Amino acid sequence: MNKLLAYYHDVLRIRLIEEAIATRYSDQQMRCPTHLSIGQEAAAVGVSRSLRVTDNVYSSHRAHAHYLAKGGSLKALIAELYGKQDGCTGGRGGSMHLTDLDAGFIASTAIVGNSIPLAVGNALHQQVQRLDHITVTYFGDGATEEGSFYEAANFAALKQLPVLFVCENNRFSVYSPMTVRQPSGRSIVELSRAIGLRAEEVDGNDVEAVHKASETLVDKVRKGEGPALLECHTYRHREHCGPNFDDQLGYRAPEEVEQWMQRDPVTQLHNKLVSAGVDESRLVLLKQQIEDEIYEAFAFAKASSTPNPDYNDRYLYA
């Protein structure tokens, strides 16, 4: 029950943050391409609950959930979206280049598939230095089409590196369905096994299932039993990039959308808690607390000073 509540808190928190961003995006003050995680929160929460602060995470363009679930600063995220001084990169990277080193969230990058080798390199460092830490690399189904995924996975398997690949398969790359990108019958899990990864798949909207599956894999990865991959089947609710719903464009079957909406991780957890007899008022309170935190974060971001372009040439070289 406490566990369920904790899951609920984490998943709902990301959801509410993303929704707050979506609501305010049309104010045109968050001026950068922004890929929301709405609908896909459970994967990030489930995986992160298997990790330690000292473990490291890399992610892709759709990184908010991974960053937040790993403990990345909410204030620094929002300030970053506003392009402010207190943003996690001082406004240089925007939504697609997040970092919070204290939380072990190393970085996200904007080029599909290109942070996967970085994560494997991070794991190489961990192995050579005999650290007890592991690395997680999040990416989408589209990223598995990049040679960088394949080459990096091969090397991770060759060297038995402490890295967990997490593929959030949301069925789409922008508007493109699987059918135009991967052969019918493709299984990312079987492919990964053939490359040499221990691989499992899981209902990515079921936070408990994700947590359990990732815990088992993380344990083996940490013990030096080699790299693993977890495929989380999930769905994004809104447009690929930006704050809106876009199902009026007709690129996804309404029944498919409907079906996935019913499997929404927030609703699922909410229902479970209610069935388990948790008092609604407790959930309302929890939500209120999160909303307060979000309110503060936005206030912080708006109050944060604007970065000074006179220093634009700083940090070109270390």
Partner 1 sequence: MTGTYMPESPNNTTFREQLNLAQHAAMEADKSMLSFGLGISDPKAIFGTTANLAESFGSHRVFDMPTSENAMTGIGIGAAIAGSRVLMTHQRMDFFLLAMDQLVNNAAKWHYMFNGQMKVPLTIRLIVGRGWGQGPTHAQNLQSWFAHVPGLKVVVPSKTDAVASQLYSAIMDDNPVIFIEHRWLHEQQCGSTSVLPLQSPHESVRVHRQGADCTIVANSFMVLEALIAADFLQHRGINVEVVETVSLEQSEWQKIYDSVEKTGRLLVCDSAHGHFSVASEVVSSVTEQCFKALTEAPRRLCLPPYPEPTSYYLTKPFYRNANDIVAAVAEMMGVKVAGGIELDVSTPHDVPGNWFKGPF
CB under 8 Å to 168, separation ≥6 — which residues? 40, 43, 62, 138, 139, 140, 141, 204, 232, 234
CA dihedral angle for residue 133, residue 37, residue 190, residue 117, rounded to 10 degrees? -50
Per-residue x/- mask for ligand TPP, residues 190 to 229, rule CB under 6 A? Answer: ----------------------------------------
Residue from 26, 29, 54, 187 touching its own copies (CB under 8 A): that is: 187
In the block, tokens 């080193």 appear at 101
**What does 182 interact with, of Mg ion, its own copies, ligand TPP, none (CB < 5 to 8 A by kind)?**
its own copies
CA distance 166 to 116: 10
Among 146, 239, 247, 293, binds its own copies (CB under 8 A): 146
Query: CA triplet 29, 266, 145: central angle to 5 degrees?
Result: 70
* Cβ proximity to partner 1, 58 vs 235, nearer residue: 58
The verdict on 48 binding ligand TPP (CB under 6 A) reads no
Instruction: Select from its own copies, ligand TPP, partner 1, none the partner in contact with residue 62, using the beta carbon and a kind-dependent cut-off of 5 to 8 Å.
Output: ligand TPP
Residues 151, 200, 215, 247: which binds its own copies (CB under 8 A)?
151
From the number of C-beta atoms within 10 Å of its C-beta (0-12, 13-18, 19+), residue 180 rates as exposed
- Interface segment toward its own copies; rule CB under 8 A; list 83-91, 102-110, 127-135, 190-198: 190-198
Between CA 75 and CA 78 the distance in angstroms is: 5
Rank residues 6 and 158 by Cβ distance to its own copies and give the closer one.
158
Nearer to Mg ion, 80 or 168 (CB): 168
Provide the minimum distance between the beta carbon of 254 and ligand TPP in the complex, in angstroms, as a whole number. 19
Backbone angles phi, psi at 215, to 5 degrees: -60, -45
Applying CB under 6 A, does 110 fall inside the site for ligand TPP? yes
Contact 74, 291 (CB under 8 A): no
Minimum distance of ligand TPP from residue 241's CB (angstroms): 7
Decide if 116 contacts 149 (C-beta within 8 A): yes
Query: Does the protein bind ligand TPP through residue 231 (CB under 6 A)?
Result: no
In whole angstroms, the minimum distance from the beta carbon of 134 to partner 1 comes to 12
Between 150 and 300, CB nearer to Mg ion: 150
Residues at the site binding its own copies, with contacts judged by CB under 8 A: 145-148, 150-151, 154, 157-158, 160, 180-183, 185-187, 190-191, 193-196
